[in-house]
Chains A and B, each alone.
Chain A
Amino acid sequence: MRNSRILCCLLFILSFTLGAGQEFTLIEKWTPGDEILGRECFSLVDKDNHIVGTFFKSGNRLIKPKEVMSFAPFGQGPGDLMDIRALFFYHDDIAFVENHGKIKVFKKEGGKYLFKEIAWLKTGKYFQFVTDGLFLDNKWFLSGGEYHSDPSRVKGEKKLSYIRILQADGKFIKNLIFKSFPDSYKSAQSDYLKHFLAAYKGNVFFLSENELKVHLISIKDLEAKRVVDLQIPSFYRKMPPDFYMLNDSHVDAFNVFMRDMEKWQTEYSRIHKVLVEGDYLVLQMRTCDPKLKKFALLFYHADTFKLEKTILTNDYLLGARNGRYYFFANGDPGRDEEAEDLIIHIFSFGIKNEKK
């Protein structure tokens, strides 16, 4: 009994020492004096603590505290990019996935991103709708729906996989996480569905934007080990069954489909950012509750998957590094009217940084 009391006291002291209960504080604010016009497609924080991202309409941008630099314009030349599917780290460089199994690597030199090389990957018979990627243990991990049966068939079961693993030289290793759909409509949904990857210890976490579920994939064995259901927050507004589906009203009216796409992406608690920071799997989603702030940051412990913190904010998460979380102030410029000016907020758990 006495021992257990001592243990409780120690745990209590330890929790304060490790920062449990620390406030999520704004430690830095950037106003680089430029603007981002469209929504965030992909973003990350690089080794110099700068934000790199692809933004709809604006293109590829490197956001620094005092300036915004454009790089890799739209095109098919060596340093150009088109039809970008994903952005992730490749060693110390950044890699963009383009269509047809092509990955373009850009290296940071002199404060700018310059084209370095192309990596070609073996593609499947049917196209993979890549939405995220990782380069780990000399292997490419790409997430996104990939058909294994003819997608043009109107009737009949559709088989898809959601992870494609390849060797560093582009040779195919295997597909993982298979699902079958009884009809074509359901699988059409998979063309737009975003799937995320994040690495933690010996595992890759795989999450889909519409499900609070984590698939654990062993990096060593390249096998899906288990699926964990994440705790659902009280405000969570599940996406409707027909989200991202083409219906009769969309035929010959792409603007109607885009309007519905915006509705699906802003009126439900879809996951729009997944990252691992420290020992936490961090997800951001919309609360969709007018009484609450726009977004919620959910901190699940990456070992136990217990929801340990929920932080509500009006800022849109772009990435994190070394305990610093980088946000667009007031939301996503392509989705939230309040996010007109480009302001970056950096938050952290702990003491306020003096540098402003």
Chain B
Amino acid sequence: MKRSERLFNIGIPVLAIGIIALLIVKFALNKKPGDFSIKDIGSITVLDLKGNKVNLEDLLDGQRGTYGLLFELTNCNTCIVKGLADLYQLEKSGESCLAIVIHDRPEEVAGWSQFQEFSSFYILKKIDFFNHFQSALLPVFFKIKDGKVTMFRFITP
């Protein structure tokens, strides 16, 4: 067998294995099954229950971090209740906590939230959710510290 043929016979499989490994790294290993991230936290505004605009960053405890629950009213009820119960307990133990409801009408959220034990509710308009948040599932329980998401957990039934 000629040297060039030998090189070809070895080179092609090596090249093929290399390409396959590259594809695995790029498309399989790099892909997380579920993800949650927030873009440009500093530019996000939310509404309080009276409809007043508030900068999300002003509600966060930069040093100790803030626990949050992000959800829509149409999400699984038990999941929302579970998440709010966790927030309520954390708040009672002195942690900074807030619940963000994705909705376009503050009065709906105000009506819904009046019977909840937890009370720090804020409203995120749907357009702001689409522009700034990426979340594979809702509700999502998270912690933000220094403007970054340090922990998140999707709540499922």
B112 touches A100 (CB 8 A): yes
Number of interface residues of B (CB under 8 A): 11
Query: Which bucket holds chain A's interface residue count?
Result: 10 to 19
In the complex, chain B residues whose CB is within 8 Å of the CB of A83: 74
A101 within 8 A of B: yes
Say which residue of A99, A123, A126 sits within 8 Å of B115 (CB atoms): A123
Taking a contact as CB atoms under 8 Å apart, the answer to whether B111 and A123 are in contact is no
- Determine whether A152 belongs to the interface, using a CB cutoff of 8 Å to chain B: yes
Given A120-B111, A120-B115, A170-B115, A99-B157 contact (CB < 8 Å)? no
B70 to A: closest C-beta gap in Å: 17
Whether B55 sits at the interface, judged by CB under 8 Å, is: no
Q: How far is the CB of B80 from chain A (nearest CB, A)?
A: 9
The smallest C-beta distance from A229 to any residue of chain B, in angstroms, reads: 35
* A118 to B, closest residue via Cβ: B111
Kindly provide the distance from the CB of B157 to the nearest chain A CB, expressed in whole angstroms: 5
Q: In the bound complex, what is the Cα–Cα distance between A170 and B112 (angstroms)?
A: 11
Complex CA–CA separation, A76 to B107 (angstroms): 13
Would you call B73 an interface residue if the criterion is a C-beta within 8 Å of the partner chain's C-beta atoms?
yes
Q: Is the CB of A102 within 8 A of B115?
A: no
Asked if A127 CB lies within 8 Å of chain B CBs, one says yes
A99 to B73, CA, bound (A): 9
B114 within 8 A of A: yes
A122 contacts B112, CB within 8 Å?
no
A201 near B: Cβ within 8 Å? no
Instruction: Tell me if B78 and A127 are in contact (CB < 8 A).
Output: yes
Taking the complex as formed, is B81 at the interface, i.e. its CB lies under 8 A from any CB of chain A?
yes
Nearest-CB distance from B145 to chain A (Å)? 30
Interface string of A104-130 (1 = CB under 8 A from B): 000000000000001011110111000
Which residues from chain A contact B157 at a C-beta distance below 8 Å?
A: 152
Which residues, 82 to 105 on A, are CB-close (under 8 Å) to B?
83, 99-102
Find chain A residues with CB under 8 A from B111 CB.
102, 118, 120
Contact flags B111-145 to A (C-beta < 8 A → 1, else 0)? 11011000000000000000000000000000000
B residues near A101, Cβ cutoff 8 Å: 112, 115
Query: Does A102 lie within 8 Å of B78, measured CB to CB?
Result: no
Which chain B residues border A121 with CB–CB below 8 Å?
115
- Can you list, as one digit per residue, whether each of B95-115 has a CB less than 8 Å from chain A (1) or not (0)? 000000000000010011011
User: Which one of B73, B74, B77, B157 has the highest number of Cβ atoms from chain A below 10 Å of its Cβ?
Assistant: B77
A67→B91 CA distance, assembly (Å) = 56
B81: chain A residues at CB < 8 Å are: 125-126
Complex CA–CA separation, A192 to B78 (angstroms): 18
Provide the B6-25 mask, 1 if CB < 8 A to any CB of A, else 0: 00000000000000000000
Instruction: Report which of B73, B74, B78, B115 forms a contact with A122, defined as CB distance below 8 A.
Output: B115
User: Which residues of B37-95 are within 8 A (CB) of A?
Assistant: 73-74, 77-78, 81
CB neighbours of B77 from chain A (8 A): 99-100, 123, 126-127
Q: Specify which chain B residues have a CB less than 8 angstroms from the CB of A170 in the assembled complex.
A: 114-115
**Complex interface residues of chain A between 133 and 175 (CB less than 8 A to chain B):** 151-152, 170-172
Smallest CB separation, A10 vs chain B (Å): 57
A102, B112: Cβ atoms closer than 8 Å: yes
Contacts of A102 in B (CB 8 A): 111-112
Q: Taking CB as reference atom, which chain A residue is nearest B80? A: A100
In the complex, the answer to whether B78 meets A120 with C-beta atoms within 8 Å is: no
Are A125 and B112 CB-contacts (below 8 A) given A100-B73, A152-B157?
no
In the complex, A145→B151 CA distance in Å? 36
Residues of chain B contacted by A123 (CB below 8 angstroms): 77, 115
Looking at the assembled complex, report how far the CB atom of A171 sits from the nearest CB atom of chain B, in whole angstroms.
8
**Given A100-B73, A118-B111, A125-B81, 4 further pairs, Cβ under 8 A:** A99-B74, A122-B115, A125-B78, A127-B77
Q: Chain B: residues with CB nearer than 8 A to chain A?
A: 73-74, 77-78, 81, 108, 111-112, 114-115, 157
Q: Can you show 15 pairs from A to B with CB atoms below 8 A apart?
A: A76-B108, A83-B74, A99-B77, A101-B115, A102-B111, A118-B111, A120-B112, A121-B115, A123-B115, A126-B77, A126-B81, A127-B78, A152-B78, A170-B114, A170-B115
